[in-house]
């Protein structure tokens, strides 16, 4: 093994360890902060079942599910954005910008709008159907974008431009649907679409768990195809890669990750855009390293944003999507300025 590879591997391991330690630190900060303050030592005692009943209720029923959801949602959106940027060869590709998040959000709003009575009657079981509804919406959006962008193959630039147009159309339909809702559902959906880890509970965690545990490892396994795409479609085909098949499979993984994340966290923008750039600056261009690093960066960034949103104006809360947008917008503007 060459010296460069050894150095890269050491850098990768060091970055992974640093991010994991940062996640652990943010985990305890998130559990400790809130309307009711709990010291880190009390948090540890409560996690070991030595705390009071009130502390156990706050941590296990309210704070812990939200933190775990933030970890999953951040990781899934980050990996989805990494795949989309690799497939489209466009640094501005993101499930939010391409309209995939909006398609998933539209499907969930339709599900809530038309099956409200079923949601009330079936209780927690209906939560497990939301990721599937979001997946159908995300697949429909991605399929429509792919179809409209197809011209003897898919040009990455055309794919992004069509995605922006589809995103605008779905947003208009969402606005019409919201105006037909009753005031309570309208407020709930408006906050959720801004990006909010709504109704955080263990049922949502269990609903999201299989999507994250199945799709993220597959994305890491398929990372080499993304590296080959960097060489261009013609070179990739010359190396024996079935370009359209691999591109379609990777897009399906990205769409499924984004759709499931939207079902639990709403349309959180910019996270899938910014995280891959941070990962590339930290570790280089190889997707075998970028995707694991992006997974951890996405998780820790959404944890930080969620903690800020829940505490900066306490007892009121700012939707996590708004916090992410505020933190990410300057970097997005910087990227736009770099594009020729």
Dihedral (Cα; 99, 156, 333, 171), 10-degree rounding:
-10
More confident residue, 18 or 165: 18
Confidence of residue 125 (pLDDT cuts 50, 70, 90): low
Rounded CA gap, 288 and 295, in Å?
12
Confidence of residue 6 (pLDDT cuts 50, 70, 90): confident
Sole residue written with tokens 């013609």:
234
Bridge partners for 150 per DSSP: 154
More confident residue, 185 or 6: 6
Residue 199, Ramachandran bin (φ over 0: left; ψ between -120 and 50: alpha; else beta): left
Rounded CA gap, 179 and 323, in Å?
25
The domain ranges of the chain are 69-338
Nearest-CA neighbor of 265 among 94, 58, 108?
Answer: 108
pLDDT of 121 over the 50 cut = no
Average pLDDT over residues 41-47: 90
Average pLDDT over residues 263-283: 88
Query: Which of 24-38, 169-183, 282-296 comes out lowest in average pLDDT?
Result: 169-183
Contact call for residues 257 and 77 (beta carbons, < 8 A): yes
Average pLDDT over residues 64-70: 92
Average pLDDT over residues 105-116: 79
What is the per-residue pLDDT across 135-153, written as a single tens digit (0 to 9) for each?
888 889 888 888 888 876 6
Pick the CATH number of 69-338 from 1.10.620.20, 1.10.3470.10, 3.90.1200.10, 3.30.750.24: 1.10.3470.10
pLDDT of 253 over the 90 cut = yes
More confident residue, 299 or 2: 299
Rounded CA gap, 102 and 80, in Å?
14
Angle at 170 between CA 244 and CA 211, to 5 degrees: 55
More confident residue, 57 or 131: 57
What is the per-residue pLDDT across 160-169, written as a single tens digit (0 to 9) for each?
788 888 888 9
Average pLDDT over residues 312-320: 83
Contact call for residues 84 and 259 (beta carbons, < 8 A): no
Nearest-CA neighbor of 101 among 76, 126, 119?
Answer: 76
Confidence of residue 276 (pLDDT cuts 50, 70, 90): very high
What is the per-residue pLDDT across 192-221, written as a single tens digit (0 to 9) for each?
777 778 667 888 888 889 999 999 999 999
Q: Specify the pLDDT at position 300.
A: 95
Rounded CA gap, 251 and 245, in Å?
10
Of the chain, the percentage scoring pLDDT greater than 70 comes to 92
More confident residue, 277 or 240: 277
List, in sequence order, the alpha helices (H) in the chain: 3-32, 40-47, 53-56, 64-88, 100-114, 116-122, 130-149, 156-179, 183-193, 202-221, 223-229, 233-238, 243-265, 271-283, 287-311, 320-338
Rounded CA gap, 153 and 66, in Å?
42
Q: Specify the pLDDT at position 70.
A: 93
Rounded CA gap, 206 and 196, in Å?
18
More confident residue, 91 or 232: 91
Average pLDDT over residues 23-50: 89
Confidence of residue 185 (pLDDT cuts 50, 70, 90): confident
């Amino acid at each position: 093994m060459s010296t460069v590879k050894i150095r890269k591997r050491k850098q990768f391991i060091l970055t992974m360890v640093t991010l994991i330690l940062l996640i652990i630190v943010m985990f305890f900060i998130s559990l400790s902060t809130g309307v009711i303050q709990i010291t880190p030592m009390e948090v540890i005692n409560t996690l070991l079942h030595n705390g009071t009943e009130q502390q156990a209720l706050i941590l296990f029923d309210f704070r812990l599910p939200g933190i775990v959801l933030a970890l999953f949602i951040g990781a899934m959106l980050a990996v989805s954005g990494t795949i989309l940027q690799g497939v489209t060869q466009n640094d501005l590709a993101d499930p939010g910008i391409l309209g995939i998040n909006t398609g998933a959000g539209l499907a969930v709003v339709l599900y809530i709008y038309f099956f409200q009575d079923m949601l009330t009657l079936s209780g927690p079981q209906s939560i497990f159907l939301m990721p599937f509804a979001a997946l159908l919406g995300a697949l429909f959006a991605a399929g429509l974008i792919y179809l409209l962008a197809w011209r003897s193959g898919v040009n990455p630039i055309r794919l992004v431009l069509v995605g922006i147009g589809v995103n605008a159309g779905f947003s208009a339909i969402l606005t019409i649907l919201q105006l037909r809702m009753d005031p309570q559902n309208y407020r709930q959906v408006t906050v959720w679409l801004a990006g909010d880890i709504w109704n955080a509970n263990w049922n949502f965690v269990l609903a999201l768990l299989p999507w994250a545990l199945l799709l993220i490892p597959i994305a890491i396994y398929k990372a080499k195809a993304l590296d080959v795409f960097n060489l261009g479609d013609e070179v990739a085909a010359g190396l024996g890669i079935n370009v359209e098949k691999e591109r379609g499979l990777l897009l399906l993984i990205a769409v499924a990750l984004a759709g499931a994340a939207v079902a639990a966290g709403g349309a959180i923008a910019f996270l899938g855009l910014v995280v891959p750039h941070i990962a590339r600056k930290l570790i280089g261009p190889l997707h075998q390293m970028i995707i694991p690093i992006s997974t951890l960066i996405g998780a820790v960034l959404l944890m930080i944003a969620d903690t800020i949103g829940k505490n900066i104006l306490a007892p009121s809360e700012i939707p996590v999507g708004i916090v992410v947008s505020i933190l990410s917008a300057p970097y997005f503007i910087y990227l736009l300025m770099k594009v020729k």
